[in-house]
Amino acid sequence: MLLTRRATLRILGAGFGVVGMADGLRAAAGTTPHFAAKAKRVIFLYLNGGVSHVDTFDHKPALAKFDGQPMPGPKIKTDRASGGLMKSPFEFKRHGESGIEVSDIFPRVGSGIDDFLVVRSMWSESVNHLPSMLMMNTGHALRGGSRPSFGSWIVYGLGTDNRNLPGFVVLCPGTPVGASRNWSSSFLPTAFQGALIRNNAETPDKVIQNIANSTYTHDQQRRQLDLLDRLDSSFLDRVGFDPRLEANLESMETAFRMQTEAPGIFDLAKEPEHVRARYGDGEFGRGCLMALRLAEAGVRVVQVYYGDGQPWDSHDDILTQKAHAQRSDAPIAALVEDLKLRGMLDETLVIVGSEFGRTPMIQNSGTEKVGRGRDHNPPGYSILLAGGGIRGGQTYGSTDDFGYKAAENPVTPHDLHATALHLLGMDHTKLTYRYSGRDFRLTDIHGTVVSDWIA
């Protein structure tokens, strides 16, 4: 069957257009959910470095009771040398109707806690940042290699609602560990990879590469595009009908529209002052507000990294978690509030999390000097979920008495991925892509949809 020009344009659905080899065509064509979706899009706020669950969302009174004493049971082999249990320096308080306990370093998330599901029984295997981040972001802790990211799979499955913007946008003011591997499309067509935008860039025109022309005016460029259209039409006349070439022509117009429209979406000055003020003027706050605007504009997946490197990695001093919480509490709360105010929370799944938690034991080793830190803790940690069909105002699962290991209802990043895809209307066992002789999935051979999370 001949592809008509219209049909070709329809499969440009991946955002930033995919008209490529057969794979790209097949992939972009798969834009129908498997069943009715609750969520349309995902915003993933990534607090890179490792949030200390026992100092934030998983209160463990036993740590105060046994402060300084060794954790019962056999000596746990942590990544770095550690000592006895350490009580949290922060106070916990019950919030909202749900009465969920949150520490006082997250006061605003605390007051909005009835919108959140607090998952306290996440666990993962690898003790290092890179593999754990890749597990959280790609479902595979592959050292050195790469797998398609969570966001890439979603855009591969669902396409995007705005062809003038990428379907998957990554906001990061620097580079997290693993860099582009965290948002790579790997063996999926490249059109599905996350478009990295450095949200510490000074001006909106710096956020998308090649989005602005330094030399020519809008009118000059318009005339240049008209010329290009004539060149291409003339070429098309010479070679005869070719659907791919037609799509190519169309993508030029899209590019031009993008150039006009995209910078506006990244321009936070377009939000009223009272909205901006609630996010603060930190990088993460700006990232969260940008995520809101991108979600409004129809971007399917937005991931916001808290900062460059691994800021939450509090090996030496747990008090640094407080400093980072001060920079993220208001933006997280404001984003969820604004999604609600704008009627988008129901269809936007918000995930707040990191690659692992931190040990209940003190870390008394290392190159820095406070000696009141916590080491990496993959066996048990917490994440927050909100919106997009999530049942808020509840907790799910628990860790043991000290917060070391997921005890009741343990869940993995695979389960998170499976549930997120489910909320988006996709069966994680059916969202597959054939590569190197087999069908790959985001969840590999794992993953269970956690129905208790779903409203």
Q: Which long-range contacts (CB under 8 A, 24 or more apart) does 438-445 make?
A: 440/147, 440/148, 440/187, 442/138, 442/139, 442/148, 442/150, 442/153, 442/417, 443/139, 443/414, 443/417, 443/418, 444/139, 444/140, 444/414
Task: Mention every residue, 6+ apart, whose C-beta is less than 8 A from residue 108.
Answer: 329, 330, 332, 333, 334
**Total number of residues that touch another protein (CB under 8 A):** 107
Out of 29, 225, 275, 454, the only residue in the binding site for another protein (CB under 8 A) is: 225
Q: Is 451 in the site for another protein (CB under 8 A)?
A: no
Out of 38, 93, 101, 236, the only residue in the binding site for another protein (CB under 8 A) is: 236
Minimum Å gap between C-beta 383 and another protein is 20
Nearer to another protein, 212 or 341 (CB): 212
Q: Is 130 in the site for another protein (CB under 8 A)?
A: yes
Whole-angstrom distance, CA of residue 12 vs CA of residue 17: 4
Out of 70, 216, 342, 455, the only residue in the binding site for another protein (CB under 8 A) is: 216
Nearer to another protein, 210 or 451 (CB): 210
Nearer to another protein, 228 or 341 (CB): 228
Out of 91, 272, 274, 369, the only residue in the binding site for another protein (CB under 8 A) is: 369
Is the Cβ–Cβ distance between 49 and 43 less than 8 Å? no
Burial of 73 by CB count in 10 Å (0-12 exposed, 13-18 middle, 19+ buried)? exposed
Strand pairing category for 116-122 and 100-103: unpaired
Tokens of 232: 């291409």
Q: Is 423 in the site for another protein (CB under 8 A)?
A: no
Window 185 to 204, contacts with another protein (CB under 8 A) = 186-187, 189-191, 195
Whole-angstrom distance, CA of residue 339 vs CA of residue 334: 8
Q: Is 409 in the site for another protein (CB under 8 A)?
A: no
Site stretch for another protein (CB under 8 A), options 222-230, 265-273, 344-352, 420-428: 222-230
Out of 258, 383, 420, 449, the only residue in the binding site for another protein (CB under 8 A) is: 258
Q: Is 227 in the site for another protein (CB under 8 A)?
A: yes
Site stretch for another protein (CB under 8 A), options 308-316, 338-346, 381-389, 418-426: 308-316
Q: Is 221 in the site for another protein (CB under 8 A)?
A: yes
Instruction: Count the neighbouring beta carbons within 10 Å of the beta carbon of residue 248.
Output: 15
Q: Is 20 in the site for another protein (CB under 8 A)?
A: yes
Window 62 to 101, contacts with another protein (CB under 8 A) = 73-74, 79-83
**Which residue has tokens 């002052």?**
273
**Which residue has tokens 């065509």?**
25
Window 427 to 446, contacts with another protein (CB under 8 A) = 434, 436-438
Q: Is 277 in the site for another protein (CB under 8 A)?
A: no
Strand pairing category for 195-197 and 168-171: parallel
Strand pairing category for 301-305 and 168-171: parallel
